[in-house]
Structure 1
Amino acid sequence: MPKAYVFTRYGGPETEALVEVERPVPGPGQVLVAVRAAGVNPVDWKQRTGYRRPGETGEAVFPAVFGNEVSGVVEETGEGVSTPAVGDAVFGRPVEGGYSTYALLSTDLIAEKPATVSFADAATLPVAGVTAWEGVRQIGLEPGGTLLVTGAGGGVGVAAVQIARSLGLRVLGVAGEAKRELVESLGATHVASGPGWTDRVPGTVDGVYDLVGGEVLAEAATLLTDRSRLVTAGAPQAEAERLGGARVAPSRTSARLAAVAALVAGGDLDPHVTDTFPLERAAEALRTVEEGHARGKIVIEVAG
């Protein structure tokens, strides 16, 4: 039978389990995808604790499948679906989780996977890639401006640094010393995180893309004279507004997914998948992200 990695109630890692599930059936406007890869994101473990993304309402239906981004091959289409077709390689946001053998995707949140983009790389784009793209665009700096990215060594941060560089921005990447080499390899100036990190920032900062939240966000805000250039994906909207900034407002559509995939295909964006785990080791993949040890992007690969 198909398998899925789930959480059975709100709580910690003790609520997680790899279980057998029924093969999903696509409804109108949906496709069933045989999952080849699933991206691992901080929001995955946060949802296990009861966190809801902005705009979400209601409780999870347990057991709830982990995962918010997948790539794979279309196995079956629902009523009214002409594209994509069975056999097409696609990626997108799953309807009910993606750490699984199969996942349902809605046709308005799915895009064709370019042939030159791997399944693993494609699985990083629906959440991390789009969030990075939208945040950099929302800040709206002109070429030559300086963008500071906190959490620059994580999945969204790695993508944000590269996208900003492709737009002609100077980038300062805040991350731990262990991630210095990665950050610098992306073309950013590394700023060591930790107490007093703002004193280590070279020169002036025109915009901030925060991926951490909390005290780091508050400290980053002090570097700006124009707080409208402060955008966060690491804190709630109310916290961002209190500091004069805003939360990133990702526009996740098929067109946006295709645009980010084109950056990968064109060589402007490397998702930097630094480690992969089979579905049977999904717990290890999730712990790597939850405990803050991930450099770049972690992906779960499902046998094809």
Structure 2
Amino acid sequence: MPKAYVFTRYGGPETEAFVDVDRPSPGPGLLLVAVRAAGVNPVDWKQRNGFRRPGEHEEPVFPVVFGNEVSGVVEGTGDGVEGFAVGDEVFGTALAGGYTEYTLVPASVAAHKPAELPHTVAATLPVAAATAYDGVRQLGLPPGTTLLVTGAGGGVGAAAVQIARAVGLHVVGVASVGKKDFVESLGAVHVPSGPDWAERARATAPDGVYDLVGGRVLAEAAELLTDRSKLITAGAPEEDVRRLGGARVARARNAAVLAEVARLVVAGDLDPHITETFPLDRAGDALRTVEEGHARGKTVIEVAR
């Protein structure tokens, strides 16, 4: 039976386990994908802690397989699926978790993997890179203006910096002192996080803010803007950012965005900066790397075949 890394209830790492699962069967509109690689994201451990995305109301059926983004090979298609066939290499958002050997991916949120991209790279794109792309597009800042990115050293932040640079923006990246060289390597001006970061950033006069931290950092970032409609967050709840005059990142979640971020990678404008890879049997270690804040760029789980 296929192996999967799951959480058995809401809570901390003590709820995690490997289990054997049935190989899923693709229903209408779904692809059965043999997973080759799965991206690891902060949302993975947050979901274990009980986090739900806006609009999610249904109670989960435990155990829940970790993971939201995968790359792999189509092993079967459900009724109504067009444009995909068995044997196609694809990447997309997993419906039934990604830290596993087989998963289901809605055809509407899947894209064909370019031959130039390894599965490990493609697996990093559906969550972090696509979120970054959606936010930069949502802000719509004209070329030559300045975007400030908080949490610029993480997976979404690093992608946002690069995508913003690709569309002609000047970028200021807020991150820890230890990530200074990394942020500057992406083409951003580095501002150290911590007390008084906002005062240090004020001189950069940002025209927009892409927040990935939330809380006090979001509130302080808002004070740097004259136009609060140019404040977006993927790091705070909707109600928090709306009180400040901004908005959550509106996720497109479609194949067109996936194809575009893949194009940016192939063109050399976007590098997911994979810093660590783990085999599936070390999925817990991969998750700890991200949960404990040690990741710089992206962490990936490789599923052996």
Q: Where does the alignment leave 5 or more consecutive residues of structure 1 unmatched?
A: none
TM-score by length of 1: 0.98
State the partner residue of 2:248.
247
State the partner residue of 1:231.
232
Identity, % of aligned positions: 70
Runs in 1 of length 4+ with deviation above 3 angstroms?
none
**2:170 matches 1:170:** yes
What letter corresponds to residue 88 of structure 2 in structure 1?
A: D
After TM superposition, the structure 1 stretch with the greater mean CA deviation from structure 2, 66-75 or 255-264, is: 255-264
Q: Whole-Å Cα distance in 1 between the matches of residues 204 and 196 of structure 2?
A: 15
**2:257 matches 1:256:** yes
Deviation track 1:61-83 (CA, whole Å, cap 9, x = no partner) reads 10000001000011112223343
Q: Whole-Å Cα distance in 2 between the matches of residues 236 and 98 of structure 1?
A: 25
**2:52 matches 1:52:** yes
Deviation track 1:131-160 (CA, whole Å, cap 9, x = no partner) reads 000111111111110100000000000100
Q: Whole-Å Cα distance in 2 between the matches of residues 83 and 57 of structure 1?
A: 31
What letter corresponds to residue 212 of structure 2 in structure 1?
A: L
Instruction: Answer whether contact 2:92 2:111 (CA < 8 A) is retained.
Output: yes
Alignment of 1:48-197 (within 5 A): 48-197=48-197
Shift of 1:279: 0.8
Instruction: Answer whether contact 2:198 2:221 (CA < 8 A) is retained.
Output: yes
Alignment of 1:194-233 (within 5 A): 194-201=194-201, 202-233=203-234
Q: Where does the alignment leave 5 or more consecutive residues of structure 2 unmatched?
A: none
Q: Whole-Å Cα distance in 2 between the matches of residues 4 and 25 of structure 1?
A: 16
State the partner residue of 1:291.
292
- What number of residue pairs does the alignment pair up? 304
Deviation track 1:211-258 (CA, whole Å, cap 9, x = no partner) reads 010111011111111111000000011100001100000101111111
Q: Whole-Å Cα distance in 2 between the matches of residues 284 and 227 of structure 1?
A: 39
Shift of 1:195: 0.8
Shift of 1:121: 1.1
Instruction: Answer whether contact 2:172 2:204 (CA < 8 A) is retained.
Output: no
TM-score by length of 2: 0.98
Deviation track 1:90-130 (CA, whole Å, cap 9, x = no partner) reads 00011111100011111111000001111111111111111
What letter corresponds to residue 49 of structure 1 in structure 2?
A: N
| RMSD value, Cα | 0.9
